[in-house]
Amino acid sequence: MAAPSASKKKTASATEWRVARSGVRFTVKRGRESARNDDGSVRTFRTRDAAARVARELNR
């Protein structure tokens, strides 16, 4: 059972996880996902897949 994406690790207990690629950073606070790109703009999402969807657009 190999994971489809190696970058998507199970960090349920971690209070903060970040993706360093293309300057997009993720932070988990109080059940919220905040994605910060290199512009310094911060977007907050309720779910992790919503933040990952925006991160995929920012990586292009």
Domain ranges in the chain are 21-58
pLDDT of the chain, 60 residues: tens digit per residue: 454 554 555 544 444 444 545 455 656 666 666 666 555 566 666 666 666 676 666 666
Q: How confident is the model at residue 29, as a pLDDT? A: 62
Q: Are 55 and 24 in contact (CB under 8 A)?
A: yes
- C-alpha closest to that of 45 among 53, 37, 23, 6: 53
Q: Are 16 and 28 in contact (CB under 8 A)?
A: yes
- Sort residue 22 into left (φ over 0), alpha (ψ -120 to 50) or beta: left
